[in-house]
Chains A and B, each alone.
Chain A
Amino acid sequence: MMPMSYFIGLSILMFAMGILGVLLRRNPLIVFMSLELMFNSANLLFVAFSAYHHVLDGQLFVFFVMTTAAAEVAVGLALIVAIFKAKRTIDLDQMSSLKG
């Protein structure tokens, strides 16, 4: 069996990539993908620890996260379509109408 630290390291890597993607990219589709990356880094840890401790709770939780992620993507894509219809662009830098 692979050492636990591999999973944790990979998860940290994925999460960091996700954060950077969300913070730096201007294309909302890429941002979404980065978000998925973060979700899945969490999922990876859930599953890894579940196997490590021989408890099923973690795996169970992953399903919830996946469901939530799916729903979130559905809403997110719909938002993007709506925004595109209104603004004719999906560049995230153009979307600051809520500034104070």
Chain B
Amino acid sequence: MSLFEIASVHPFFQLVPLVVFLPVLGLLINLLVGKYLGEKGIGAVASLATGGAFAVAVLLAIGLGQVSEGATLTLANWMTVGDFSVNWSFRIDTLSVLMMLVVSGVGMLIHIYSIGYMHSDVRHNEDPGRFRRFFVYLNLFIAFMMVLVSSDNFLMLFVGWEGVGLCSYLLIGFWFEKGADGIGNAKAAKKAFVVNRIGDFGLLIALFLLFHNFGTLNFAEIFEQAPAIAAAAPGAIMAITLFMLLGVTGKSAQLPLYVWLPDAMAGPTPVSALIHAATMVTAGVYLVARSQALYVEVPAAQNIVMWVGALTAFFAATIAVGQNDIKKVLAYSTISQLGFMVTAVGMGATVAGMFHLTTHAFFKALLFLGAGSVILGVEHGHAQANQHAEHGHDSFDPQDMREMGGLRKRMPLTFIVYLLGALTLAGIAPLAGFFSKDEILAAANEKSIAIYALLTAAAFLTAFYMGRQLLMVFFGKPRSVASEKASESPLLVTLPLVVLALLSVFGGALNLPGSHILETWLEHTLEGVTPGHFVLTVALISLAVALLGLLLAWLVYGRKPSFENGQPDPLRKPLNGLFTALENKWWVDELYNTVIVRPYDAVARFSAGVIDQGIIDGLINGMGSMVGSLAKAWRRYQNGYVRSYALTIVVGVVLVITYLVLR
């Protein structure tokens, strides 16, 4: 539909291009005239751009409330090759608008938070000029994310998919000259990009296969034909869904490609919150949810997706237990929670997955931003401590939880919101995380007992590591001068935290058992959605497990003071070697290094050194030097005397004539 036609469906629908163009406008303003705006101005422009996109998304949601089947707006034709045509179209349906609301809503809050956070961060890192760059990247990310979720075909989705990957790369490497050896952050960014490439390769293959089998990349057309094609060529759909899964494991950080996400914490904290927790990493979940019509045709692929998700959920949760970096814990927690979502969409419990995606966006953004606030406070305390005493140690890491402790008195507001976020993540009723996680667990209970057990174990570990983190960061006595002198963050930082905390607390209302708002909302888009039912035993078990986890955390970390004067982790003794394994993330990075990276490196080195520089360059250089030496030999005859040239001609003519005569 064109702009004019769509207005007759619902007047709000014609606003949909603005969800992309407002962030683009924001970034253009900041890019071109941001220099003269000052930090407040830059932040305001970027936040308003995202807030505008949020407002448009709200209007779209209102429109969808009246015209629930939505519409598709074609903005431009991208390419037409024979029968194959791709448009830049915006698909307005309940699923895409839900994603838009989450992305722009959480995004807006994080933009506001970033004004306060980056103000300190750029000064801490001694380059205030990068303030503007940060917001340009952030707006670019929002724009690409909107392209991703609003697309009506796989190719535009892929454009957004790659775009957000690019933004992720740029923002992980935002302080590219910092980190271990001065290239730590740049390496992390590179790792994220390369690992994502592997996933993107899978998605690309899936797109090629889709085009090959369906002759189109349009969502509606593909999903319509899916049953027929699945009957004709089940293997093709299987391959498509599995290659798509590879893309999902890359972008949504699932086994085996999750390794980039923990390293991505090298980016500034708002980036971790926005991109690496709330929005971009959920793109994979969105993709599976969107392609549900394909997945339901091949139960085997669904099973694989489900197992990948469940294993990731459990595996990452174990690693989170052994981490000491406040952001690393949250990173592994994110991977684990993404595992929950992937399991859900793999089981066909799409609504549960999207529900958890939404609530997770709230509370994980809250936790990351809270962690950012803690880091700011500790950095501030560290700076103050160094002001008074000269003995400050330079290797101080403001993210190390072993150096914190007792922060609840120094940063009361941050403590309260962080507590709420942690309890939500742990799944304590009646906070949002309880309902969304419970819905997934209930669905898993019906599907497979093994999956259910894995997820419940993951939920237990989640409660445990969140309890551990809370106790290490906020309780006990301060374990360093920095945390003793830590101070509460400014209002600009804490205000978004409060809003997110409210969302985390009340977000469960989106899909309460009995009301099912999200269910009825999404059933216009997703086929075969059935109201997930509330199983009391499952809910009670998950609540009990969560409480048990928190209790155990208190027994281990809260009862008696730990970590005093460099004491080892109290878990180390009972778990012994296991804890070392957890601390070292099961040595997965090392495994990948030995099995993939090093051999690949060796092959690359061989290709570059022996094949390229040796054989190919040798051939070319050999030809060059051959011509050179030949010319060097012959230049003696080019002596500049016309007479000798003439002599050559004469001799030549004589020879030719002699030949002609004597022939």
Does B232 have its Cβ within 8 Å of any Cβ on chain A? no
How many A-B pairs fall under 8 Å by CB?
32
Residues on A with beta carbons closer than 8 Å to the beta carbon of B634: 100
Query: Which of A41-49, A58-66, A91-99 faces chain B?
Result: A91-99
A19: contacting residue among B639, B640, B650, CB under 8 A? B650
The answer to whether B650 touches A23 (Cβ under 8 A) is yes
The answer to whether A22 touches B643 (Cβ under 8 A) is yes
B640: contacting residue among A22, A24, A96, CB under 8 A? A96
With A23-B647, A23-B650 in contact, do A92 and B642 touch (Cβ < 8 Å)?
yes
Query: Complex formed: what's the CA distance from A98 to B641 in Å?
Result: 8
Q: Mark B2-17, 1 if CB is under 8 A from A, else 0.
A: 0000000000000000
Query: Complex formed: what's the CA distance from A93 to B640 in Å?
Result: 9
The answer to whether B642 touches A95 (Cβ under 8 A) is yes
Residues on B with beta carbons closer than 8 Å to the beta carbon of A19: 650
Does B635 have its Cβ within 8 Å of any Cβ on chain A? yes
Residues on B with beta carbons closer than 8 Å to the beta carbon of A97: 640
Q: How far is the CB of A72 from chain B (nearest CB, A)?
A: 14
Q: Mark A74-100, 1 if CB is under 8 A from B, else 0.
A: 000000000000000000110111111
A99: contacting residue among B638, B643, B646, B647, CB under 8 A? B638
Which residues of B (625-658) have their CB < 8 Å from a CB of A? Answer: 634-643, 646-647, 650
The answer to whether A92 touches B643 (Cβ under 8 A) is yes
Residues on A with beta carbons closer than 8 Å to the beta carbon of B640: 95-100
Which residues of A (19-65) have their CB < 8 Å from a CB of B? Answer: 19, 22-24
Query: Complex formed: what's the CA distance from A92 to B635 in Å?
Result: 20
The answer to whether A100 touches B646 (Cβ under 8 A) is no
Query: Complex formed: what's the CA distance from A24 to B647 in Å?
Result: 10
Which residues of B (466-484) have their CB < 8 Å from a CB of A? Answer: none
B638: contacting residue among A22, A92, A100, CB under 8 A? A100
A96: contacting residue among B635, B636, B641, CB under 8 A? B641
Q: How far is the CB of B632 from chain A (nearest CB, A)?
A: 9
B639: contacting residue among A22, A24, A92, A96, CB under 8 A? A96
The answer to whether A92 touches B646 (Cβ under 8 A) is no
Residues on B with beta carbons closer than 8 Å to the beta carbon of A99: 638-641
Query: Complex formed: what's the CA distance from A96 to B640 in Å?
Result: 4
Residues on A with beta carbons closer than 8 Å to the beta carbon of B636: 100
The answer to whether A23 touches B638 (Cβ under 8 A) is no
Which residues of B (192-242) have their CB < 8 Å from a CB of A? Answer: none
Residues on B with beta carbons closer than 8 Å to the beta carbon of A23: 643, 646-647, 650
Query: Complex formed: what's the CA distance from A88 to B456 in Å?
Result: 103
The answer to whether B641 touches A92 (Cβ under 8 A) is yes
Query: Complex formed: what's the CA distance from A15 to B643 in Å?
Result: 16
Residues on B with beta carbons closer than 8 Å to the beta carbon of A93: 641
Query: Complex formed: what's the CA distance from A24 to B640 in Å?
Result: 15
A sample of 23 inter-chain contacts (CB < 8 A) reads: A22-B643, A22-B646, A23-B643, A23-B646, A23-B647, A23-B650, A24-B643, A92-B642, A93-B641, A95-B640, A95-B641, A95-B642, A96-B641, A97-B640, A98-B640, A99-B639, A99-B640, A99-B641, A100-B634, A100-B637, A100-B638, A100-B639, A100-B640
Q: A98-B640, A100-B640 are in contact. List 9 more A-B contacts (CB 8 A).
A: A19-B650, A23-B646, A23-B650, A93-B641, A95-B640, A97-B640, A98-B638, A99-B640, A100-B636
Which B residues are within 8 Å of any A CB, using their own CB?
634-643, 646-647, 650
A-B pairs with the 6 shortest C-beta distances?
Answer: A96-B640, A99-B640, A100-B638, A100-B635, A98-B640, A99-B639
